């Protein structure tokens, strides 16, 4: 990568194709040489052509990203919403150094824990779509005693206040007393305030909620609330395997 005037990032065209998984160096150079690549609607045959961040690139007529995909894990803090802009609230994207990422699913303003962010729209859609059955695991504190009866109700599908019947959920009790409970809940959906509404449906209230796992990726215990890091190649491969 080269830094041009004004700090604008410019990259060789073939390297952008490689970052978008279109082949190795020789294969990407061949694509360019044979006229399959356009930059700003102009066919480019020189693989050394440098690309700016705002250039529009098409390969075989399909748009690709001039900036490589990025994948982050964040330990979301309380008080931030999962949005790219809001005039009344703090947004999680304000905590990272990029403005092109979106949240993979959403966590409520007062929910903390594992949040994935990426500019890879296709992977984002795949991970949040219920049909791919990606587990989301939460730790929660409940204001009352959670019972074996609750476990069965969650297993057979809780019906929310709007009539929607949730898919099977796995409820595990860690501690339970009349003063309150600690539980771990695994779901494969992401309806609005879903975990809270599921417990409201059985007459209980969530007092603390933290996502601890997404897919098979656990929250990095070294991340303090508000901190984030890039996913490793192994972690990205796991997510792309769903």
Structure letter (DSSP) for residue 242: -
Beta strands 90-91; 80-81: pairing state = parallel
The SS3 call for residue 90 is strand
Exactly one of 108, 122, 135, 161 is catalytic; which is it? 108
Burial of 167 (0-12, 13-18, 19+ CB in 10 A): exposed
Cα(111)–Cα(197) distance, rounded to whole angstroms? 14
In contact, 111 and 139? CB cutoff 8 Å: no
Which residue from 87, 72, 13, 2 is spatially nearest to 223, judged by alpha carbons?
A: 72
CB-facing half-sphere around the CA of 54: CA atoms within 13 A: 1
What are the beta bridge partners of residue 12?
50
Assess whether 162 carries a catalytic annotation.
no
Q: Provide the annotated active-site residues.
A: 108
């Amino acid at each position: 990568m080269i830094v041009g005037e004004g700090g604008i990032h410019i990259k060789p065209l073939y390297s952008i194709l490689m970052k978008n998984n279109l082949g190795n160096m020789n294969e990407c150079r061949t694509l360019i040489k044979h006229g399959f690549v356009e930059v700003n609607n102009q066919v480019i045959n020189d693989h050394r052509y440098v690309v700016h961040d705002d250039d529009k690139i098409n390969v075989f007529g399909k748009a690709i990203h001039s900036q490589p995909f990025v994948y982050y894990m964040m330990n979301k803090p309380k008080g931030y919403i999962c949005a790219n802009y809001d005039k009344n609230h703090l947004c999680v994207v304000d905590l990272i150094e990029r403005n092109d990422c979106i949240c993979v699913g959403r966590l409520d303003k007062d929910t903390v824990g594992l949040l994935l962010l990426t500019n890879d729209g296709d992977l984002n859609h795949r991970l949040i779509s219920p049909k791919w059955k990606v587990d989301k695991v939460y730790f929660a504190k409940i204001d009352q005693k959670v019972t074996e009866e609750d476990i069965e109700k969650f297993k057979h599908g809780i019906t929310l206040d709007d009539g929607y019947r949730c898919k099977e959920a796995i409820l595990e009790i860690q501690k339970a007393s009349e003063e309150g409970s600690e539980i771990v809940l695994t779901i494969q959906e992401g309806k609005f305030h879903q975990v809270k509404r599921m417990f409201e449906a059985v007459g209980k209230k969530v007092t603390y909620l933290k996502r601890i796992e997404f897919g098979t990726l656990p929250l990095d215990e070294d991340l303090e609330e508000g901190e984030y890091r890039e996913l490793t190649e192994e972690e990205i491969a796991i997510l792309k395997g769903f």
